[in-house]
A and B are shown apart, each in its own frame.
Chain A
């Protein structure tokens, strides 16, 4: 059973069309939930860490939220340069692993 499930697998939006990416997780005790952005041929770039339900963090057009079972990455009025794969990962209290979902490929059309 996957600990981290991201949806949708791929998403195409028009420039300016806001949307949300979902990350659902199953862990016994959440140490942290992490969001990354990855461009083709590059390593993942750290975006946010969320620690507890109700927490929100923002960076430019991105806003991450967290509940007890899932996290959302909201993208407001996206631009073509926001096109990338967005990765979600979780860390559990019982060990020091960081486990990733398979990502959402986001493509913003001009």
Chain B
């Protein structure tokens, strides 16, 4: 049972490049979340989804897009990366009782 798997684990992008982060869960959870974690800022919610085909904005959605075409996958896209998007990105999945996190993707934009 893998739980929540994030791909890739590390990535370096140049300013203006695009990329997609993949989150996959095998727990049949309805809810999935994308967070970013920065020093001194804690975990901030980017976007979330309460089911296949649905997405909603979180606290810091600007510059990101998401898609939930399949229940088990939640994709986070950066269309034109900026240095301010350098961060560690965490995906989580869960139900009402709480969410379970992946191991993170460390993204550096230069």
Closest residue on chain A to residue B50 by CB atoms: A96
Contact of A87 among B4, B31, B43, B50 (CB under 8 A): B43
Contacts of B48 in A (CB 8 A): 96-98
Count of A-B contacts judged by CB separation below 8 Å: 58
Given known A-B contacts A98-B33, A100-B43, A103-B42, A44 and B98 have beta carbons under 8 A apart: no
Distance between Cα atoms of A49 and B99 in the complex (Å): 10
Q: Please tell me the number of chain A residues within 8 Å of chain B, measured between CB atoms.
A: 23
Report the contact-size class of chain B (Cβ under 8 Å from the partner): 20 to 34
Please list the residues of chain A having a beta carbon within 8 angstroms of any beta carbon in chain B.
31-32, 34, 36, 41-46, 49, 87, 89, 91, 95-103
Please list the residues of chain B having a beta carbon within 8 angstroms of any beta carbon in chain A.
4, 31, 33, 35, 40-45, 48, 50, 56, 58-59, 90, 92, 96-104
Query: Besides the contacts A34-B98, A97-B48, A98-B33, what 15 more A-B pairs have beta carbons closer than 8 Å?
Result: A34-B99, A42-B104, A43-B103, A43-B104, A45-B101, A87-B43, A96-B31, A96-B48, A96-B50, A98-B92, A99-B45, A100-B35, A100-B42, A101-B42, A102-B42
